[in-house]
């Protein structure tokens, strides 16, 4: 029985958000660096235009506040005193992070009051729409409900296959063989699994383990250095779980593949296969075929059930009910 326990942060610090790979277009903090430890608890940004006219209802301090071209143009239309008052009122709300998306240097009043209140202020050349999308993607990942699973995640023919099973059974060796055949490693040993807003399960490695694979007898290998950038990827939807186990004489296995098994991860049901490891079996090829067969099933072609239906028709008997799904 595989167990996936829910974990995951309810908040993320401003500093952790700004270090996310998806926000490389955001320039260093212009002011309020001491506010990098403040918490962000909402996965969606907030446009702060209404606050600039004195309407503070609905402003959530722990959401990322966006000041785009419209908001900056409005501030520039005010006289110096009014502009200072409006900006001061905004920053006195105890905001976690303010992002200016117009590009260039933020208005002096923004820098002054960000410094005064210890609020992180950053700028980006991106337009507001692109900035909002980037922040949303980063927060969806950082604030997602997650679990960490011992296993290996590989992209095989575009299918995210999560290999699980006892330590030492050969998961990493399978991944090495698959990468050598042109497939892509996502994570080895520790796989961070998270629910995406559209109901998928995303898998990624811890940052320290990214691109690395451990092969017993050789050691830690950097797959990007060995096979190139196309041999690895940063994350992948998990579409199939494969549990590897030691096959023994007399064990009973699935022979026809009629009954589809599944496993729940973080409330999402995923198809699962149990494949025995035995001497002489080419596990790399078997896993490739498992991925291809998964794609066939996704397109409505279920080989096992089709075979049973054809056999029943040949024998002139009723098709078993378990194949009629």
Note whether 144 and 8 are within 8 A (CB): yes
Closest Cα partner for 68 from 49, 84, 82, 54?
Answer: 49
Is residue 6 flagged as an active site residue?
no
Give the Cα separation of 33 and 11 in Å (integer).
Answer: 19
Dihedral pair phi/psi, residue 107, rounded to 5°: -55, 145
**H/E element, 171:** helix 171-180
> Could you give the CA distance from residue 75 to residue 227 in angstroms, rounded to a whole number?
52
Catalytic choice (81, 216, 255, 325): 255
**6-44: b or e for each residue (b if 16 or more CB lie within 10 Å)?**
eebeeebbbebbbebebbeebeebbbbeebbebebeebe
200 as an active site residue: the answer is no
The DSSP letter of residue 318 is P
CA-angle at 223, arms to 9 and 271, nearest 5°:
55
Indicate which residue of 84, 136, 189, 224 is catalytic: 189
Active site residue 255: yes
Q: Which of 252, 255, 176 is closest to 216 using CA atoms?
A: 176
Q: Is 81 a catalytic residue?
A: no
Catalytic residue among 150, 234, 278, 281: 150
Q: Choosing from 171, 183, 212, 302, which is the catalytic residue?
A: 171
Q: Which residues are catalytic?
A: 150, 171, 189, 255
């Amino acid at each position: 029985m595989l167990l996936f326990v829910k974990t995951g942060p309810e908040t993320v610090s401003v500093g952790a958000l700004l270090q996310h790979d998806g926000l490389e277009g955001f320039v260093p903090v212009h002011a309020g660096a001491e506010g990098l430890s403040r918490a962000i608890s909402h996965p969606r940004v907030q446009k702060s235009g209404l606050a600039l006219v004195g309407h503070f209802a609905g402003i959530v301090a722990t959401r990322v506040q966006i000041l785009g071209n419209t908001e900056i143009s409005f501030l520039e239309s005010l006289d110096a005193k009014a502009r200072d008052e409006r900006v001061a009122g905004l920053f006195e709300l105890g905001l976690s992070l303010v992002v200016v998306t117009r590009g260039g240097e933020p208005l002096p009043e923004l820098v002054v009051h960000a410094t005064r209140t210890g609020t992180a202020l950053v700028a980006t050349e991106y337009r507001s729409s692109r900035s909002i999308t980037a922040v949303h993607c980063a927060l969806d990942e950082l604030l997602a409900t997650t679990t960490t699973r011992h296993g290996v995640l590989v992209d095989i023919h575009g299918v995210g296959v999560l290999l699980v099973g006892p330590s030492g059974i050969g998961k990493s060796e399978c991944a090495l063989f698959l990468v050598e055949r042109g497939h892509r490693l996502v994570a080895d040993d520790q796989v961070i699994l998270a629910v995406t807003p559209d109901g998928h399960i995303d898998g990624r490695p811890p940052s320290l383990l990214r691109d690395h694979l451990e092969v017993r007898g050789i050691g830690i290998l950097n797959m990007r250095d060995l096979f190139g950038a196309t041999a690895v990827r940063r994350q992948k939807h998990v579409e199939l779980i494969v549990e590897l186990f030691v096959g023994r004489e007399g064990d009973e296995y699935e022979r026809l593949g009629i009954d589809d098994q599944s496993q729940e991860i973080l409330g999402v049901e995923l198809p699962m296969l149990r494949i025995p490891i035995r001497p002489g079996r080419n596990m790399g090829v078997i896993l490739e075929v498992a991925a291809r067969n998964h794609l066939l099933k996704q397109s409505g072609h279920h080989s096992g059930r089709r075979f049973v239906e054809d056999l029943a028709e040949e024998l002139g008997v009723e098709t078993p009910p378990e194949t009629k799904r």
